[in-house]
Structure 1
Amino acid sequence: MDLLSLFGLILGLAAILVGQHLEGGHISSLLNGPALLIVIGGTVGAVMLQSRLGVFLRAMRMLFWTFYSPRFDFEEGIQRIIRWSNIARKEGLLGLEDVEEKEPDPFARKGLQLLIDGSEPDSIRNILDVDISVKEQFDTQAAKVFESMGGYSPTIGILGAVMGLIQVMGNLSDPGMLGSGIAVAFVATIYGVGAANLIFLPIANKLKSHVQLQSQYRDMFVEGMISIAEGENPRNIETKLLGYLRQGA
């Protein structure tokens, strides 16, 4: 679990609730079911309207990355590439057939198949770069679903506040209800702005950072496979790829 994300969410919400309490307000005054329904329902509905189904579903699956980050072990990946390089050096590229059959990562398996087929280095790079680019663009679109939520929710919150004020204005005959009615109306604005800046936008940025890291991880494999195809010494390949360890830190 990504403890930093969990701690950040708890800290942000706690700061608001504790601040409300220290200012003399009641935490219960921030609880309002209709306002929550308007903000969350309206925001999700707007995003569903603008998104393609595949992108929206991908965004929902990627949501788990916020607290359970995908694992990109750059050091372990380098060791795998060096192992493949040693096999290719001793047995030739055809010696990688057994490795390719057992490789669980579809992207790495595709690269190994290109090596076994004797593809030219430029051809290997072009084919794998297309996979990386398409995957990165698709996942970035999915991450932007939450970015869009962060853009819509404050406006939907204002809409909820205005709807609440309409109800207040309809009860002007009871002045005693005006203060509490206006306070409840503005809870929707708090929900909209708070959800955008404490949840939706941070999640979007977190996901985009994971997408970028995934692309860098795959770039490392491309560089390694190109080096194997060019017959570079395993030690030189390792030295070249060690620069990627900073990316995975």
Structure 2
Amino acid sequence: MDIATLAGIIAGISFIVAGILMSGDLGNFYDAPSIMITLGGTFAATLISYPIKNIIGVLKVTKNLFFTKAKDPNEIIRQIIDLANIARKEGLLALEEAAYKLDEPFMQKGILLIVDGTDPELVRNIMETELTFIEERHSQGQAIFETMASLAPAFGMIGTLIGLINMLKMLDDPSSVGPNMAVALVTTFYGSILANLFFTPTANKLKHRSAQEMLYKEIMLEGILSIQAGENPRIIEEKLKAFLSPQERKALNDNSTAGEE
């Protein structure tokens, strides 16, 4: 589980609720029509903007924000070094059995391509094409949340305008102006909360996850091509370290599994 995402949502809601309670009544910020206008309008406009299959796919992506375990780049490199050692000792054909034991489809596909004797340039082209379309699929989910982040405040303003119109029609009753104005502004409050606490942070987290995944797959691709080229496992390890931060390189050095020459 991604503790940071869950902790951020809980902390954000807690601080807002605490701020309201310190200066007023939480009940003043509840208004069912405002919720309907803001949430309903945002999701309706999103449905108009994107195919339904893309929106359904986003629901799965949202679940993954909480429950997807982040990959360890050091583990990826260690797997590549293990495969390089097998190829060095037993030849590329010996990698086929090891490939089917991998739990990463992208790496498995690349290993099977080199086992089949595919030209290195063609391997690179095939794998980079897959990377391009993976990134494109990721960007669709990000775009949906970015769209919702822009729509929520807009529908909040629409709700506020509706409230103001209703208020102006009741100006003959001065006692109703204050409560009606408060209800009108609550809709803008809802739109801002949805955009800035949920939709925009979710889009940003998806961008971060996508960048991480693309980096890991670049490591896999470079490692696969290095194995195909017959490079020494130690050289492959040093080459792949270039993708890591200094802290990650230190962790890899402490647990290096590169084979002896």
Query: Does the 8 Å contact 1:20/1:27 carry over to 2?
Result: yes
Match status 1:170 vs 2:169: yes
The within-5 A match list for 1:57-76 is 57-76=56-75
User: What displacement does 1:73 show?
Assistant: 1.6
Cα distance in 2 between the residues matched to 1:111 and 1:54: 29
Q: How many residues align?
A: 248
Equivalent residue for 2:256?
none
Equivalent residue for 1:52?
51
Equivalent residue for 2:85?
86
Structure 2 residue runs without a partner (length 5+): 249-261
Cα distance in 1 between the residues matched to 2:220 and 2:56: 28
User: Which one-letter code corresponds to 1:178 in the other structure?
Assistant: V
Cα distance in 1 between the residues matched to 2:127 and 2:224: 10
Match status 1:204 vs 2:169: no
User: Which one-letter code corresponds to 1:31 in the other structure?
Assistant: Y
Equivalent residue for 1:4?
4
The within-5 A match list for 1:85-234 is 85-234=84-233
The TM-score normalised by the length of structure 1 is 0.93
Worse-matched range after superposition: 29-38 or 169-178 = 169-178
CA RMSD in angstroms comes to 1.8
Cα distance in 1 between the residues matched to 2:213 and 2:11: 28
Cα distance in 2 between the residues matched to 1:239 and 1:124: 22
Structure 1 residue runs without a partner (length 5+): none
User: What secondary structure does 1:245 align onto?
Assistant: coil
User: Which one-letter code corresponds to 1:61 in the other structure?
Assistant: K
1:77-108 CA-partner distances (Å, limit 9, x unpaired): 11111111111111111101111223332211
User: What displacement does 1:203 show?
Assistant: 0.5
Equivalent residue for 1:18?
18
Query: Does the 8 Å contact 2:153/2:192 carry over to 1?
Result: yes
Cα distance in 1 between the residues matched to 2:52 and 2:211: 23
The TM-score normalised by the length of structure 2 is 0.89
User: What secondary structure does 2:67 align onto?
Assistant: coil
Cα distance in 1 between the residues matched to 2:247 and 2:73: 6
Query: Does the 8 Å contact 1:35/1:187 carry over to 2?
Result: yes
Cα distance in 2 between the residues matched to 1:232 and 1:239: 11
What is the percentage of aligned positions where both structures have the same residue? 37
Label 1:150 to 1:247 Cα distance change in 2 as closer, same or farther (>3 A): farther
Label 1:247 to 1:161 Cα distance change in 2 as closer, same or farther (>3 A): farther
